[in-house]
Amino acid sequence: MATRETCALVTGGSRGIGAAIARALAADGWPVAVNFRSGEAAAPAVVDEIVAAGGTAVPVAGDVSAPGAAEQLLAEAERQLAPIGALVNNAGVNADGLALQLEDDDWNRVIETNLSAAFRLTRQAVRGMIRRRHGRVVNIASVVGTTLTNPGQANYAASKAGLVAMTKAIAVEVARRGVTVNAVAPGFIATEMTAELTTGTLEAVPARRAGRPEEVAASVRFLASDEAAYITGATLVVDGGLSA
């Protein structure tokens, strides 16, 4: 099945890595639903940019962690564009603090947004993908929680390690139906999330620089493509050698 008959939903697509993923998928011919939570101005700007470049995109508002969000976001994307052929679980937050001081709210918010919401969206999206015998799920994880550990990120690390484990578990469940489920694990990427990074942090990166959102997006675009049909359950690390 040609991917053009289906669309891609990118969560948290209004800025940072998500916006770059939306642009990259659109450039590959995917009609893209650009989900945003609070970026009322930013998401339409990403959409306008895609349309100006000859692509197809629509903004889809909604907090991925809200009750019923998975059903609502997917239905809205399908109503405006086409059945979901690719889901990119990119929306993510951090709420850092040493474990002894970490409040339940900060724990729950990060796990809900980064992991539980990704599960609910995947569960819902994969139903149609299985029926069509074609689908792509790409989860944006992190090197934190898999190969690296940062003090003060117990909640974030647990959410991202959980995302990698979930990726593998669902991948083996749906592999025979033509649906792939993979993760991309970025290192330090220059976005608002890492705006407070010190130069010292970057000295630990063998490439001696932060990554660009487009460099993460290129991996997502590949994993969403037909060429990546035999890759599933994998985590592609994009970190300038940080975890090598």
Interface positions, 195-224, toward ligand NDP (CB under 6 A): none
Quote the least distance from Cβ 54 to ligand NDP, whole Å: 24
Does 236 sit near ligand NDP (CB under 6 A)? Answer: no
Quote the least distance from Cβ 144 to ligand NDP, whole Å: 7
Among 65, 122, 155, 180, binds ligand NDP (CB under 6 A): 65
Does 85 sit near ligand NDP (CB under 6 A)? Answer: no
Does 113 sit near ligand NDP (CB under 6 A)? Answer: yes
Binding map of ligand NDP across residues 33-62, x = CB under 6 A, - = no contact: --xxxxx-----------------------
> Whose Cβ is closer to ligand NDP: residue 134's or residue 188's?
188
Quote the least distance from Cβ 96 to ligand NDP, whole Å: 12
Catalytic residue of the set 15, 69, 139, 156 = 156
Does 10 sit near ligand NDP (CB under 6 A)? Answer: no
Terminal CA-to-CA distance of the chain, rounded, Å? 37
CA 2 to CA 196: how far, in whole Å? 42
- Contact between 62 and 93 under an 8 Å Cβ cutoff? The reply is no
Verify whether residue 156 is a known catalytic residue. Answer: yes
Closest CA to 157 of 210, 101, 111, 103: 111
Stretch that binds ligand NDP, among 13-21, 97-105, 172-180, 228-236 (CB under 6 A): 13-21
Phi-psi sector, 8: left (phi>0), alpha (psi -120 to 50), beta: beta
Task: Fill in the amino acid letter for 203.
Answer: E
Q: 61-64 long-range contacts, Cβ below 8 Å, gap at least 24?
A: 61/35, 61/36, 61/37, 62/35, 62/37, 63/37, 64/11, 64/12, 64/35, 64/37, 64/91, 64/113, 64/117, 64/118, 64/121
Does 87 sit near ligand NDP (CB under 6 A)? Answer: no
What ranges in 81-132 are assigned the alpha helix state H?
A: 104-111, 117-132
Does 122 sit near ligand NDP (CB under 6 A)? Answer: no
CA dihedral 224, 12, 125, 29 (to 10 degrees): -40
Chain residues in the site for ligand NDP (CB under 6 A): 11-12, 14-18, 35-39, 63-65, 90-93, 113, 140, 142, 186, 188-189, 191-194
Active site (catalytic) residues: 156
